Chain A
């Protein structure tokens, strides 16, 4: 069974490892992610201006393409998910806006397609138990701290993936993989997001606190579903260069840990391009 899949720009470029590991684990689980034949950038920010019609055009075009492909469209990137999902809920409520955008794009988006995150498919379609059964290389002993960030969960009434104050979806996933999820107080604190472009000191400061707190609570790795979080948390640790000195915390996509646990070959892990190389953790003795 193939699931229409929207990779988005970041996963097609900088976060290629996320895309590669994601497609590989999906295929291994029989949930093939089938890239939309024709897609464009979603805009990467959900517009919050009073008149947001112009900025809603890009994500609506994506939704239109997705609607041609099926009933659901899956994403891996938390930002694309955020933008598409909120656009979908907004247009479901605001039919006037929907008509306006359709008039402009000369497309006929009907508002039917459902935007899902791949995590949601794992939880609701596959189920954690079924996933656990597919694990061939349990990540026993790996203390992995789930880091949720903001965009995957908030605002709850438009996204509704998990409890925004006490999320569990990544915890449950890690447990299914045999790892030990580490709770730490910063797991839903903001990493600074796009401030990394304009005011990198701010996002670096926030990110260092997040990583430090996870370490205080005994985490060996941080696990995320967002390419921007991944970058923000990892980049400030670059000074120590590639390779592990023992003082860095690798920042992994959940799909990368899945690829390891499902016993996929190393090229499917997508771990070559990290500033902090996580691979030594998974070296077989």
Chain B
């Protein structure tokens, strides 16, 4: 096969990986154009981390192949490692080294000399607002600070491809916004980013393209708008004051909508799918006005990625998010043997 075109930074073909009887990856394909962000979206256990570990040479696939920055992850892992920066699901920092020492060490291991490694470490510490904690052992850091230090570690060598496995899981809202900002800057600087997340809004916010993955399979892909389109149009929702008026509302919505209206008696609310958006809304209100129905509230919902996920998989995306703890890590390791 010819090497992938240079405008494709990451390419994976038919990746399969099994752990015992678990088929963690069941034929995953993906492609990331250089300079763009791909969001790998899926619930716990979907296969996100396994994909990341294969693409970053930490794990060999049972079958399939992958190229990162033009290098084969199986045949030439060292070249891949030189082109990537990884921030894994669990912060890969040395607890007993200070923040500065951690980044200095990573710089040296990327082959930088002492002066350059020192300068880069200091630069990243201030960029990630860690300069005040720079000379404290990382074990004294909060979860968010550790996460930032780990993210900084991924950027030490200014890699062409940055891989971030659930970079905001376990962060507070402030930490999440900071991380989003950093990812934005990375892309502005021309990096290609592979980002996994369980948060639909995060993929919506950051990714050019979203790949929805569940049980080791890609079940949908496209831009956030394309995915929303797959669920169909918007939903029109009307709330009235009197239960007696629900029948009339339902009749009207059946005429303007594109499927059977659903009625929620308790909240005196009727919903229907519509294809024509605002036009349907105006039409519905005009007819209800003619029938003298007193409308209390009206809304037109654009589908969220949550709806997308629900309609694709039949279950919600956000299971309990995995919070990072050393204990979890160990439990997981033990399980893997």
Is A bound to B? no
